[in-house]
Structure 1
Amino acid sequence: MSTINADNYTGPTEVDFHFDVMCPWAYQTSLWMRDVRDRLGLQVNWKFFSLEEVNLREGKKHPWERDWSYGWSMMRIGAILRRDSMDLLDKWYATSGRALHVDGNRPHNPDVARHLLEQIGADPDIVDVSISDETTHDEIKAEHQRVVDSGGFGVPTLFFDDQAIFGPVLLEPPTGDAALRMWDLVVGWLEFPRLYEVQRPKMEDDERAIYETFKPYLEARDWVSINRGKEVGFESQAAG
């Protein structure tokens, strides 16, 4: 049982969580992050990172050069919502992430995106607003570059002030006391800035479990996935 609670907690009270809506690994971690946030009263600042851009293949357009571009366009909607409140972006990520990674829908389709905005009580016309507002590109680029400049390569990436941590990469998000124990492990890394990596090898059973968990996402995606560099996990989104 975790001995951490909101009354005796003395660790970080704020974290920047960089995500791409289309990433199944980041979605799993976001579920855990919300549980910890609600139990400890943390401030989670949702920030962006583009797997389309980091995995861009030579000769392809950058996501901001297209009229509509999967995860990038989803984040443009999120940028508009965040200008109103971080809570709206939180709801948008939770709703659109569940639509893709649990229900196997296509939130990257503009019509589906409009429907999901209605579900969180937002104006569906925000889809069109985000497309016409070129400054949304600047917000996403800046937050994406922050991760790249820190040596990062994917999501989820967490920032505690100027310290960046990739992960945790998990398939079964813990809840309750177990979620707090994992949080304690994660923030424990901050004490050791030269600790770079701890990794559990994936066995055949793990790969099967990953496939079954990510099946809705794999069936709903409309792009080709590639692995590049240090990508951790089953697959990562690439530019189409």
Structure 2
Amino acid sequence: MTITPDTYDGPTEVDFHFDVMCPWAYQTSIWMRDVRDQLGLTVNWKFFSLEEVNLREGRKHPWERDWSYGWSMMRIGAVLRRESMDLLDQWYAASGKALHVDGNRPHTPDVARHLLEEIGADPAIVDLSIEDQSTHDEIKAEHQRVIDSGGFGVPTLYFGDTAIFGPVLLDPPAGDAALRMWDLVLGWLEFPHLYEIQHMPRDEKKIFETFRPYLEARDWVSINRGKEVGFEAQAAG
């Protein structure tokens, strides 16, 4: 039976771990918001750091740097979340669109301040988040939660204590199709030993065209380019 808002009786709350810098997580977040709005779900936005999980030996941890791309953006998000989850939701949506759709650089302090103004928040939160060392602790704890579950990237969804990596989406479905995708995701919960299904091969040209704004706006070299870097924005987180 196809899920409808009137007949839905599944989970009403989900934790969604993300890194603003991950293009795949951003695509999935668009779908997640559509499902949330249709079914009245509660989405708890949580953090995960690609900078940390992909850290090369001898490099500084992201919390050891004055400013560190995705990590610093999540520190801003941590401050916003203390006021309300809705503010973090707006921040993720605005900063994700800026990077992955518009090709801007929300991972720079000046653009981050501008985006805060766009969502009606105080741009001084950028400096506050840098000064507040406890923001590191929030991100570390949520990152470690995924690692301790055997996770390695984002998007990672939690239904209670059950974690699922994905869905990894290039074209986020909307409307009825979004609900059908949600039904498929919930189906995974019935099979704890179903670990992986993939389409083969990937449409590399379509992936490149979709992620072109992100590729042009990033200020780091990823592992995709075959060069040594401190932060690798790997495909699928």
TM-score class, shorter-chain normalisation, is over 0.9
2:126 aligns with 127
1:58 aligns with 57
Q: Distance in 1 between matches of 2:38 and 2:172?
A: 15
2:186 aligns with 187
Q: Distance in 2 between matches of 1:192 and 1:49?
A: 25
CA shift for structure 1 position 153: 0.2
Structure 2 contact 101–213 (Cα < 8 Å) conserved:
yes
Pick from 202, 206, 209: which aligns with 1:209?
206
Structure 1 contact 49–144 (Cα < 8 Å) conserved:
yes
After the TM superposition, which of the residue ranges 217-226 and 83-92 deviates more from structure 2?
217-226
User: Is the partner of 2:211 in helix, strand or coil?
Assistant: helix
User: Is the partner of 1:236 in helix, strand or coil?
Assistant: coil
CA shift for structure 1 position 3: 3.0
Q: Distance in 1 between matches of 2:71 and 2:191?
A: 34
User: Is the partner of 2:44 in helix, strand or coil?
Assistant: strand
2:168 aligns with 169
CA shift for structure 1 position 6: 2.1
CA shift for structure 1 position 119: 0.2
2:215 aligns with 218
Q: 1:10 to 1:29 in 2, by over 3 A?
A: same
Number of equivalent positions: 228
Q: Distance in 1 between matches of 2:50 and 2:172?
A: 22
Q: Distance in 1 between matches of 2:65 and 2:104?
A: 22
1:72 aligns with 71
CA shift for structure 1 position 202: 2.6
CA shift for structure 1 position 55: 0.1
1:231 aligns with none
User: Is the partner of 1:195 in helix, strand or coil?
Assistant: coil
User: Is the partner of 2:46 in helix, strand or coil?
Assistant: strand
TM-score, L = length of structure 1: 0.93
TM-score, L = length of structure 2: 0.94
State the Cα deviation string for residues 127-170 of structure 1 (Å, max 9, x = none).
00000000000000000000000000000000000100000001
| Deviation >6 Å, runs of 4+ | none
What is the correspondence of 1:148-167 to structure 2 with a 5 Å cutoff?
Answer: 148-167=147-166
Q: Distance in 2 between matches of 1:215 and 1:74?
A: 21
Q: Distance in 1 between matches of 2:119 and 2:201?
A: 37
Structure 2 contact 98–104 (Cα < 8 Å) conserved:
yes
User: Is the partner of 1:27 in helix, strand or coil?
Assistant: helix
Structure 1 contact 55–226 (Cα < 8 Å) conserved:
no
1:200 aligns with 199
1:236 aligns with 234
Structure 2 contact 18–156 (Cα < 8 Å) conserved:
yes
Structure 1 residue runs without a partner (length 5+): 228-233
User: Is the partner of 1:152 in helix, strand or coil?
Assistant: coil
CA shift for structure 1 position 235: 5.2
- Identical amino acids, percent of aligned pairs: 82
1:146 aligns with 145
Say what the alpha-carbon RMSD is for the aligned residues: 1.3
2:228 aligns with none
Structure 2 residue runs without a partner (length 5+): 225-231
